[in-house]
A = this chain, B = another copy of it.
Amino acid sequence: MTTSTALLLADLTGVAVFAASGASAAVVKRLDLFGVVFVGFVAALGGGILRDLVIDEVPPLAFADWRYVTTAAVTAGAVFWLHPQLARLRTCVLVLDAAGLGLFTVTGTLKALDAQVPAVGACLVGMLTAIGGGLARDLLTAEIPVVLRSEIYAVAALVGAVLVTVLEAFGHADATGLTVAAAFVFLVRLVALRRRWSVPVPT
């Protein structure tokens, strides 16, 4: 398996996981089949669309490569029909979501650096790629975005994006380095979930 195949598989895994999280939120709000698939699409691909618009990669990958939208739509459709059985898989979904967070942080930051976005901006783009879909999901379902309210989520992505930027600056953004960065985001998120770590709230 070549590196680009590995990257594509990683990316599509992230798409499927985020589509499932969006579709689950839509099912809870009693949206119809189209609504469930659409919120799944936005949750999976919204962050990447924003990223591609910002780095002028048009049309965005979500529109240019049919495998992305197909993965998102099939996953969201499956959640629509299978959601009663999925209820007991909640832990599994949280773990997969943490994996998606790590993968999207790494690919988003890398693409921004490749597009000559300066370091600070690239970290922002990487973080927005990872959290943008979830933000859009919550806006579409009329919730204050959960990522702004509690828990270590976006902060894990931001730290991961800084890590990728530092690796790139020192010439270590190879498969090993990037895997370490993705795994770091994944683990921070999992430990934060288990230990109920959170970001301070106003006094």
| Chain A residues within CB distance 8 Å of chain B | 26-27, 29-36, 38-39, 49, 53-56, 58-60, 62-66, 69-70, 80, 83-84, 112, 115, 117-122, 124-125, 135, 139-145, 147-150, 154-155, 198-203
Contact = CB atoms under 8 A, between A and B. Distances in A.
A120 B33 contact: no
Contacts of A63: 54, 112, 117-118, 120-122, 124-125
B32 A149 contact: yes
Contacts of A31: 144, 148-149, 201-202
In the A-B complex, the 7 residue pairs with the smallest Cβ-Cβ separation, listed nearest first, are A35-B148, A63-B121, A66-B120, A32-B199, A56-B58, A27-B202, A33-B199
B35 A149 contact: yes
Nearest to A131: B38
B201 A33 contact: yes
Contact of A144 (B62, B70, B124, B141): B141
A26 B56 CA distance: 31
A30 to B, nearest CB: 6
A13 to B, nearest CB: 20
8 contacts: A30-B202, A32-B198, A32-B199, A33-B200, A33-B201, A34-B155, A63-B125, A135-B140
Contact of A34 (B30, B112, B199): B199
B121 A84 contact: no
A157 to B, nearest CB: 10
A144 B29 contact: yes
B54 A60 contact: yes
Contacts of A64: 117-118, 121
A169 B76 CA distance: 29
Contacts of A115: 59
Contacts of A83: 202
